[in-house]
């Protein structure tokens, strides 16, 4: 049975409420959590709580927010992807996303809104964090182009760092709210949800990470979409205090039985612009399966509006 709006909201609330409740317990019964202070060379998975990399998720992964102060982060990212997705014609996707995050102690709230242009014979919708979701191939006799603003994504994440342990765990929830017009051709017309966990282990200049997400996709009038997992694993490599590289592998299950699961490799580089609170990020992906774009590339500019902890 498909998850409905109330179940999605409850899942999102539970992700945040559980660790928050643990911190509010009396001191003689409180786990030894500490406030997170993130290392300069660490990064979370660019697909945390999504299906794959996107113009929204990559800049957020590259700019970790931490410390005791309240931090605000804005980013503008763009991505171009192309592939046949198991058909005889090429699908091209332009996606740009404006994103904002607010970080208070170990809690991070985020929002992103994409603008997309999709040219394809297939059915492709806006997914969580501006991730395109392939629904069905060859649904049109000729290529058609749809463009406009996609669906809004709201997210919340809570980072747990056990005292005396190098392991950091981020619990997250995302809700993609149907805000695109019904005539745009960009939206399924339903809300989607995702809950996930990301584990990272800072080891000097290298930080291995792994993430697991489960997505709940809303059905369309024409298609019954399949809930399913997404996962990634990789590492970030510090190049000093202001720059680092990220390399990772990503998997996401197929949204319908008519398409294949996605497997892809990701590589990204990020550099803080000297003397500013801005960070420039570039990234590429290559597909390893018919369910993924053959190639995608993107860039993002992020700016911090408050004190920095860690990055």
Give Cβ neighbours of residue 28 (< 8 Å, ≥ 6 apart): none
Along the 311 residues of the chain, how does pLDDT read in single tens digits? Answer: 454 544 554 444 444 444 444 444 444 444 444 455 555 446 677 877 676 788 888 888 887 766 556 788 999 999 999 999 888 889 999 999 999 999 888 899 999 999 999 999 998 888 898 888 888 888 888 899 999 999 999 999 998 887 778 898 999 999 999 999 878 889 888 999 999 999 999 888 899 999 999 999 999 888 899 999 999 999 999 887 788 899 999 999 999 998 999 999 999 999 999 988 899 999 999 999 999 999 999 999 999 886 554 44
46, 80, 81, 74: which is closest to 61 by C-alpha? 46
CATH code given to domain 5-304: 2.40.160.40
Residue 276's Cβ-count burial label (10 Å; 0-12, 13-18, 19+) is: exposed
Please check whether residue 130 is in contact with residue 153, taking contact to mean a CB–CB distance below 8 angstroms: yes
Ranges of H-type helices in the chain: 5-24, 57-62
Tally of CB atoms within 10 A around 172: 25
| Tally of residues, the chain | 311
Please check whether residue 57 is in contact with residue 79, taking contact to mean a CB–CB distance below 8 angstroms: no
Give Cβ neighbours of residue 175 (< 8 Å, ≥ 6 apart): 8, 9, 12, 153, 154, 155, 191, 192, 193
Cα 66 from Cα 186, distance rounded (Å): 34
- For the chain, the domains span 5-304
**pLDDT single digits (tens) 208-225:** 999 999 999 999 888 899
Please state, rounded to an integer, the average pLDDT across all residues of the chain. 83
19, 10, 50, 45: which is closest to 174 by C-alpha? 50
Backbone angles phi, psi at 15, to 5 degrees: -60, -40
Cα 233 from Cα 39, distance rounded (Å): 19
Cα 54 from Cα 77, distance rounded (Å): 8
Backbone angles phi, psi at 256, to 5 degrees: -140, 170
Place of tokens 């202001």: 242
């Amino acid at each position: 049975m498909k998850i409905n709006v109330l179940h999605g909201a409850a899942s999102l609330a539970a992700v945040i409420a559980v660790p928050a409740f643990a911190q509010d317990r009396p001191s003689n019964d409180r786990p030894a959590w500490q406030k997170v202070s993130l290392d300069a060379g660490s990064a979370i998975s660019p697909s945390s709580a999504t299906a794959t990399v996107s113009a929204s998720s990559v800049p957020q992964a590259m700019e970790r927010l931490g410390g005791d102060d309240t931090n605000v982060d804005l980013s503008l990212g763009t991505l171009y992807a192309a592939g046949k997705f198991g058909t005889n014609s090429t699908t091209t996707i332009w996606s740009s996303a404006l994103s904002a995050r607010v970080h208070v102690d170990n809690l991070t709230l985020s929002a992103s809104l994409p603008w997309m242009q999709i040219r394809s014979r297939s059915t492709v919708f806006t997914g969580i964090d501006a991730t395109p979701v392939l629904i069905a191939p060859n649904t049109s006799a000729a290529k058609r182009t749809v463009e406009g603003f996609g669906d809004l994504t709201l997210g919340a994440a809570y980072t747990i760092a056990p005292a005396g342990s190098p392991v950091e765990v981020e619990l997250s929830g995302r809700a993609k709210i149907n805000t695109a017009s019904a005539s745009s051709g960009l939206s399924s017309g339903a809300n989607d949800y995702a809950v996930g966990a990301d584990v990272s282990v800072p080891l000097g200049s290298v930080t291995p990470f792994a993430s697991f997400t489960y997505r709940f996709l809303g059905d369309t009038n024409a298609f019954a979409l399949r809930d399913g997992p997404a996962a990634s694993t990789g590492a970030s490599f510090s190049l000093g205090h202001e720059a680092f590289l990220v390399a990772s592998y990503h998997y996401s299950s197929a949204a319908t039985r008519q398409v294949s699961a996605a497997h892809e490799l990701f590589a990204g580089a990020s550099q803080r612009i000297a003397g500013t609170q801005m960070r420039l990020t570039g990234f590429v992906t290559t597909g390893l399966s018919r369910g993924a774009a053959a190639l995608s590339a993107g860039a993002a500019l992020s700016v911090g509006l408050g004190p920095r902890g860690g990055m």
